[in-house]
Amino acid sequence: MTDPSQATVELYTDGACSGNPGPGGWAYILRHPSTGKVVEHSGGEPATTNNRMELLAVIYGLESLERPCRVEVYSDSQYVTKGLSEWMDGWKARGWRRSAKEPVKNVELWKRLDALRATHTIITHWIRGHNEHPENERCDRLAVAAIEQYRARA
């Protein structure tokens, strides 16, 4: 149930990896529609996977919020959107195991997201990547730029 006193924000995210595993980058754009305020942030890791970067983009975006919000999360990662909207509750009920009894990959990140779900009302939206969606394209450029920082150091 949505709390009508919660501010609504839009969170656009993307993760990228050069090789999988390899150097990776994540990025988010956080928009507060009622004020027009927009915040962008990105970062990366020298050796990671694409799925980890997709998850971290959402985690860091949610962690940047100063109070509980209704968050419309836009991602081109079905791993993120389905994980949050369809799979996570089942994983938790099975002790963070998938239906095949295998441990959930990236479980420490999923647990962080689960804790953030307790604070924020999260609504996920899957968007097609590389399809001229302005915020998704911007996040992709930011995430790729984060990867380039690691390549420059190598």
CATH number of domain containing 60: 3.30.420.10
| pLDDT at residue 5 in the model | 72
pLDDT of residue 46 exceeding 80, the answer is: yes
Catalytic residue chosen out of the listed positions 76, 83, 120, 135: 76
- Helix (H) / strand (E) element for 101: namely none
Active site residue 3: no
Active site residue 89: no
33 located within any domain: yes
1 located within any domain: no
- Helix (H) / strand (E) element for 56: namely helix 50-63
| pLDDT at residue 106 in the model | 98
Instruction: Show the domain range for 69.
Output: 7-153
111 located within any domain: yes
Q: What is the Cα Rg of the chain in Å?
A: 15
Active site residue 114: no
| Nearest residue to 84 via CA among 73, 98, 97, 95 | 73
Catalytic residue chosen out of the listed positions 24, 44, 54, 61: 54
Question: Rounded to whole angstroms, how far apart are CA atoms 14 and 140?
Answer: 6
Lowest mean pLDDT segment, chosen from 5-9, 67-71, 142-146 = 5-9
55 located within any domain: yes
pTM to 2 decimals? 0.94
Within 13 Å, how many C-alpha atoms sit on residue 108's CB side? 1
102 located within any domain: yes
Count of domains for the chain: 1
